[in-house]
Amino acid sequence: MISPQKLLRSSPLALIGCALCLAGPAHAQSESAFPTAEMKDRDNQIIASFYYSDSKKGFDADGNSVDIADYHKRELYLLAEVKATEELTLILAPSFRDVSADGSDNDTTGLGYTEVGARYRVLDQDGWSLAFQGTVRIPGEERDDFVAQLVSTATEYDMRLRLIHGFAVGEDSGFFDVQAGYRLLDGALANEFHLDLTAGYRPVPDILLLAQTFSTVSDGSSDISGGKYRYHNLQISAVKDLSESVSLQAGVTGTLAGENALRERGFFGGLWVRF
């Protein structure tokens, strides 16, 4: 079994979207839906993830569930992380998405956000790791909706601090991951606070169980939503190691609460390759 200290030293600490998302739905989770707290003895990785979600209801300005036109999203994310030095990891994360709404002619298909940036590890000691990350998010196919999760009209600048702690429970191992960030948004949307939390646990050596929350809160009002907005997503998944370098992931995702936001429900799958 790999010790928590060794597990964390070999990790290229992905900070963000809180990402862990792997990173996740385009505007809500994106980079944060890609959990990378475990890298074993590999320095680099590529993760390809497919998401499907729909939103038959939304949250109004008071946080109440309301009927809206049904939204449907199909999204593909590719995360590439390459270790440049012992402390520095380079990040590239393009995405592709298809968004449609019942009774609307505002359907879009094309590139989603592409994220480019780097992460620098400043602490790696006694099972604890701390890193700073900065990325630029470049929009692809533009979409101007009244909800923050779907808007993609301007460049965004994301800054994050990430803390990871690995631990052992008998023969099992696990980790906690906390990411806190602030995102500057050009255009009509307000800037955003982000808080992403991940708990990972290995009940057996070849299976990793993940529970993740992704929270976004606007820093002020948005011209698009007509006020402040927030949304809090939950993601549960399992990762099966096929070999030391290849793993498969499957899980479900949904929005727990929000204001001026979609209430999404969906599922996802991913392929992890470490090298």
Give the up-direction half-sphere exposure of residue 267: CA atoms within 13 A in the CB hemisphere: 5
Domains in the chain: boundaries: 4-274
The pLDDT, as a whole number, for residue 42 is 63
pLDDT in the model for residue 146: 64
What pTM did the predictor assign? Answer: 0.83
Architecture of domain 4-274: Beta Barrel (2.40)
Position 103 scores a pLDDT of 74
pLDDT in tens, the chain (275 residues): 333 333 333 333 332 233 333 333 333 343 334 444 455 456 899 999 999 999 999 999 899 999 988 999 999 999 999 999 999 999 999 999 999 888 777 788 999 999 999 999 999 998 899 999 999 999 988 877 667 788 788 899 999 999 999 988 888 889 999 999 999 988 767 899 999 999 999 999 999 999 999 999 999 887 666 689 999 999 999 999 999 999 999 999 999 999 999 999 999 999 999 99
Give, rounded to a whole angstrom, the gap between the first and last alpha carbons of the chain: 19
Rounded CA gap, 174 and 11, in Å?
A: 13
Length of the chain: 275
DSSP string computed for 203-227: EETTEEEEEEEEEEEEES-BTTTTB
How far is CA 26 from its chain centroid? 9
Distance, in Å, from the CA atom of 111 to the CA atom of 39, rounded to the nearest integer, reads 28
pLDDT of residue 58: 92
Conformation bin of residue 63: beta by default, left when phi > 0, alpha when psi is -120 to 50: left
The 10 Å CB-count burial string (b at 16+, else e) for 170-207 is: eeebbbebebbbebebebebbebebbbbbebbbeeeee
